Structure 1
Amino acid sequence: MRILVVCGAGASSTFVAQRVRHAAQAHGLPYVAFAGTERSLPIDLDAADVVLVGAHLADVVPRIERDAAARGTTVVVLPADISDDLDGSRTLALIRAAVGDFGGTLPANTPSPT
């Protein structure tokens, strides 16, 4: 699974993508995460199965969801405190819940996918 993490300038998305890669690897999941920006989204979206959107971009989420839907890509808006997820496990759980990947156990406090 290819996961695009989008933020305004690309700095915070780089950290989130790196943490997701490490968490996925620790769980033996074939996930690839990469960072992008709002500006690079039209190009990056073609290479993604899931798009994680920083909470600060909430005003553009409807446009991102529309563009992603045309490609069959899932959009997940990250909580504002996602930077506190230092090992990426919470972010990974959000991704797995969004795509229905329950092949393993999800950490406590994982939101229901419904």
Structure 2
Amino acid sequence: MRIMVVCGAGASSTFVAVKLRSAARMRGEDVVVEPGSASQLESLDGIDVLLVGGHLEAALPSLRERAAATGTAVALLPAISPASLDGEKALDLALNAKAAAL
């Protein structure tokens, strides 16, 4: 499964991506996690789940509209500091979003 994590500038998404990779590795989940910024998000082709930083909630409707064209599931991360984000919970959020989209 391919997960894209987006935030405003790309820094927070990098931090979250590291936590997601660690949680996936501990569980034995086969995932690829890529960080990025919402403003530089070009294509959702091949992305199974788009995790959106909580501070970008206002952009969620347009991101969901774009994601619908590629079958990409979209989930909003909690509006907390990336340092406080639990990688296990973020991974659960991504896995549940993908399952709900099927």
Same fold by TM (over 0.5)?
Answer: yes
- 1:35 is paired with a residue whose SS is strand
Unpaired segments of 5 or more residues in structure 2? none
- 2:22 is paired with a residue whose SS is helix
Tell me by how many angstroms 1:85 deviates. 2.4
Tell me by how many angstroms 1:100 deviates. 2.4
Q: Give structure 1 regions of 4+ aligned residues with deviation exceeding 2 angstroms.
A: none
- Aligned-residue Cα RMSD (Å) equals 1.5
Q: Which has the larger radius of gyration?
A: 1
Listed as ranges, the matches of 1:1-114 within 5 Å are: 1-43=1-43, 45-81=44-80, 83=82, 84-86=84-86, 88-100=87-99
Greater RCO structure (CA 8 Å; 6+ sep): 2
**TM-score with structure 2 setting the length:** 0.89
**Identity, % of aligned positions:** 46
Matched AA of 1:62? P
More moved, 61-70 vs 73-82: 73-82
Aligned residues: 99
Q: Structure 1 CA distance, aligned partners of 2:38 and 2:85?
A: 22
Unpaired segments of 5 or more residues in structure 1? 102-114
Q: Structure 2 CA distance, aligned partners of 1:91 and 1:82?
A: 13
More moved, 32-41 vs 65-74: 32-41
Q: Structure 2 CA distance, aligned partners of 1:2 and 1:82?
A: 23
Matched AA of 1:78? L
Deviations 1:19-43 (A, max 9, x none): 1011101100101101011122123
